[in-house]
A and B are shown apart, each in its own frame.
Chain A
Amino acid sequence: ETGVTQTPRHLVMGMTNKKSLKCEQHLGHNAMYWYKQSAKKPLELMFVYSLEERVENNSVPSRFSPECPNSSHLFLHLHTLQPEDSALYLCASSQDLNRGSSYNEQFFGPGTRLTVL
């Protein structure tokens, strides 16, 4: 596998379910990101991890819980979601600022299309 991979590609869940999204990067990067992309809305940055430490959490509801066990893997744990959480969830990675890169070029995975019923 190369680049950034995400599984599953599609997920349908009920509001009472618990599920997890997985992201893996094979680029040797040290920063990872979760974005939410809803129809007709701009990309929303949800979380940023740098060297497995969460460095940014942009007012995301607690029903979304990220986990970064190492610099290659990132998870997004989901529980008691709402229908308005249906969206494309994108993972990205980069070399983080001041740790090997002066600019923040991000590489994206294909996304997980989430539908909450």
Chain B
Amino acid sequence: AQSVTQLDSQVPVFEEAPVELRCNYSSSVSVYLFWYVQYPNQGLQLLLKYLSGSTLVKGINGFEAEFNKSQTSFHLRKPSVHISDTAEYFCAVTASGSRLTFGEGTQLTVNP
């Protein structure tokens, strides 16, 4: 079975600052990794995913994430955030033959 830990429950930042949302996973087999974003009162929307190949994955809205197998991490980054990036972000992991497992979420709040 897989597990996911999102290390920060809340991340406040100022507009135009860089941000990193941390995600660590645990698995004994190869994994596929996802970041979802949830805006207030909406469902989850896929931001980006790592399936194989290049460890740097680019997603929508200027976000990117880097898969680090040795550190079992998949941190999400954006070089300059906007007010509109305020949302909850979920890291998720799955492996072949397993269901998606979600982290507890990180609330990103971008302040003016």
Contact = CB atoms under 8 A, between A and B. Distances in A.
A42 B94 contact: no
Interface residues of A, number: 24
A57 interface: no
Contacts of A42: 102-105
Interface stretch (B14-22, B45-53, B66-74, B77-85): B45-53
A56 B45 CA distance: 23
A98 B97 contact: yes
A104 B43 contact: no
Contacts of B44: 90, 92, 108
A94 B90 CA distance: 18
B94 A103 contact: yes
SS class, residues of chain A in contact with chain B? strand
B105 A97 contact: no
Nearest to B9: A40
Which residue, A4, A92, A104, has most C-beta atoms of chain B within 10 A? A104
Contact of A105 (B34, B45, B102): B34
Interface stretch (A14-22, A59-67, A109-117): A109-117
14 contacts: A42-B103, A43-B102, A56-B99, A88-B41, A90-B44, A97-B98, A98-B97, A102-B97, A103-B51, A105-B32, A105-B46, A105-B100, A107-B46, A109-B43
Interface of A: 4, 6, 42-43, 45, 48, 56, 88, 90, 92, 94, 97-98, 102-111, 113
